Chain A
Amino acid sequence: MSDSTGTLWRILSEDTPVAVVFYQSPSAREEILELATILAPAERQYRRTANVHDAFSEEDMILFLTPEDEQRAVLTLDGRREALRNRTAPVVLFLMSGGDGEKRLRNDAAGLESWLRGMEYDPERLAPIDVEAERARFAEKTGLLPEDWLIRWRGGSIADTTENNFLSHHAALLEQKV
Chain B
Amino acid sequence: MSGKDEAATGEPDYWHKLHAHTVSERDGKNVSVEKMKSSLIARLKDLASKNHCSKQVIGWFGSEGRAGGCQIFGLKKGLPAKDKWDHPAIALTGLQHIDDGALLTLSVLLDPRAQRVLEYSIGIQGQSRKPERYWYARIDLTEKPEGMGLCGHPLLHCHVGETSDEAPPLLAAPSKPAGKAPVFTARVPLPWMMPADALDWLLATVHSPLDRTHTAPAP
Residues of A within 8 A of B (CB): 1-6, 9-10, 13, 27-28, 31-32, 34-35, 38-39, 42, 123-124, 126-129, 131, 142-144, 149, 153-170, 172-173
B66 at the interface (CB under 8 A from A): yes
The docked-state distance in angstroms from the alpha carbon of A34 to that of B42 is 10
List residues 61-93 of chain B with CB under 8 A from any CB of chain A.
61-67, 69-72, 74-77, 83, 85, 87-88
Is B121 within 8 A of A4, CB to CB? no
Q: Which residues of B contact A3 (CB under 8 A)?
A: 62, 76
Is B76 within 8 A of A159, CB to CB? no
Q: Interface residue tally of chain B, by bracket? A: 35 or more
Of B76, B159, B168, B170, which contacts A167 at CB under 8 A? B170
Can you name the residue of chain A whose Cβ is closest to the Cβ of B138?
Answer: A162
List residues 10-35 of chain B with CB under 8 A from any CB of chain A.
32-35
Is B35 within 8 A of A156, CB to CB? no
B206 at the interface (CB under 8 A from A): no
Identify which of B72, B83, B136 gathers the most chain A CB atoms within 10 Å of its CB: B72
Of B33, B72, B167, B185, which contacts A169 at CB under 8 A? B72
Is B64 within 8 A of A173, CB to CB? yes
Closest Cβ of chain A to B68, distance in Å, is 10
Is A35 within 8 A of B69, CB to CB? no
Q: Which residues of A contact B105 (CB under 8 A)?
A: 162, 166
Can you name the residue of chain A whose Cβ is closest to the Cβ of B121?
Answer: A165
The docked-state distance in angstroms from the alpha carbon of A166 to that of B83 is 12
Closest Cβ of chain B to A127, distance in Å, is 7
Can you name the residue of chain A whose Cβ is closest to the Cβ of B62?
Answer: A1
Is B148 within 8 A of A169, CB to CB? no
Q: Which residues of A contact B87 (CB under 8 A)?
A: 162-163, 166
Is B65 within 8 A of A172, CB to CB? no
| Contact (A149, B76) CB under 8 Å given A156-B148, A165-B140 | no
The docked-state distance in angstroms from the alpha carbon of A177 to that of B152 is 28
The docked-state distance in angstroms from the alpha carbon of A38 to that of B87 is 25
Is A129 within 8 A of B66, CB to CB? yes
Is A154 within 8 A of B146, CB to CB? yes
Is A168 within 8 A of B64, CB to CB? no
List residues 152-178 of chain B with CB under 8 A from any CB of chain A.
153, 159, 164-171
Residues of B within 8 A of A (CB): 32-35, 37-38, 41-42, 45, 49, 58-67, 69-72, 74-77, 83, 85, 87-88, 105, 107-109, 112, 118-119, 121, 123, 125, 136, 138, 140, 142-148, 153, 159, 164-171, 182-183, 185, 187
Can you name the residue of chain B whose Cβ is closest to the Cβ of A37?
Answer: B38
The 8 closest A-B pairs by CB, nearest first: A159-B167, A156-B147, A31-B34, A165-B121, A1-B62, A9-B59, A5-B61, A169-B109
Closest Cβ of chain B to A98, distance in Å, is 15
- 17 A-B pairs with C-beta separation under 8 A: A1-B88, A2-B64, A28-B34, A34-B34, A34-B35, A38-B38, A159-B182, A160-B140, A161-B165, A162-B85, A163-B85, A163-B165, A164-B169, A166-B105, A166-B107, A172-B143, A173-B65
Is A1 within 8 A of B75, CB to CB? yes
Q: Which residues of A contact B63 (CB under 8 A)?
A: 1-2, 4-5, 123, 126
Can you name the residue of chain B whose Cβ is closest to the Cβ of A143?
Answer: B171
The docked-state distance in angstroms from the alpha carbon of A123 to that of B71 is 11
| Contact (A5, B66) CB under 8 Å given A165-B140, A172-B119 | no
Is A38 within 8 A of B62, CB to CB? no
Closest Cβ of chain B to A88, distance in Å, is 19
Q: Which residues of A contact B168 (CB under 8 A)?
A: 159
Of B45, B65, B146, which contacts A153 at CB under 8 A? B146
| Contact (A2, B167) CB under 8 Å given A173-B70, A173-B109 | no
Q: Which residues of B contact A123 (CB under 8 A)?
A: 33-34, 63
